[in-house]
Copies of this chain bind each other. A is one copy, B any other.
Amino acid sequence: MTESARGARDAEAVSRFVESFAAQLVEAGMQRMPARVFAALLSSDEGSMTSAELGEQLRISPAAVSGAVRYLAQTHMVSREREPGSRRERYRVHGNQWYEALTNREAVIKRWEGALREGVTSLGADTPAGRRMAETLAFFEFIEAEIVEMMERWRVHREKTFGPE
C-alpha cells in the first residue's frame, strides 16, 4: 500500500470527486461556488475546513469562499464555528444538516402554497382553473405533512443503522 493511498489522502482523487459531485449539485439548480464548497466539506475527513483551506483546494479567492459560505449558512447546509483563540473560522457539515436542509424546502413549499391560495381566490374557487389550483394546493399540503413524518422515520432508521450521533 503506497503512502498516498493510506495516510495522506490522494489530493487528486479527492478533487476529482469534489468536482464531479459539485457538478451534479449545480445541475440540480445549486449555484456553482456553494456547490463546490459544500462538496469539499463533505469529503474532508474532519467534516470541516477553514476558509484558507477551501480557497486553496478549490483555487478560488477569499471573496468567493465568503460568498459561498454565507449562502450555505443561510440555508443551513453548513454551520460556522470559531476556533477558540484564533480568528480563523471553520465551516462544518453535520450529518444531520443534510436533512435539516431538505426540510428547509418547507420554506419554499410554504411560499408556493401562499401563491396558490392567492390564485384560488383571484381566479375564483368555482372556476375550472381555480379548482385546479385548489387541487395543486392540496398536493403541496399533503407533501409538506409527509416530509415531516418521513424525516422522523429517517431519524429512527439512521440510528438503528449507524448508531446514535
Contacts and interface: CB of A to CB of B under 8 A. Distances in A.
Interface size class of A (residues with CB under 8 A): 35 or more
Interface in A3-30: 9-10, 13-14, 16-17, 20-21, 24-25, 27-29
| Chain copies in complex | 2
Contacts of A158: 135, 138-139
A151 to B, nearest CB: 10
Interface stretch (A50-58, A61-69, A77-85, A119-127): A119-127
Given A122-B17, A146-B153, A45 B127 contact: yes
Given A17-B122, A20-B115, A146-B150, A162 B139 contact: no
B129 A44 contact: yes
Interface of A: 9-10, 13-14, 16-17, 20-21, 24-25, 27-29, 42-47, 93, 95, 98-99, 102, 108, 111-112, 115-116, 118-119, 122-123, 127-129, 132-133, 135-136, 138-139, 142-143, 146, 150, 153-154, 157-158, 161-162
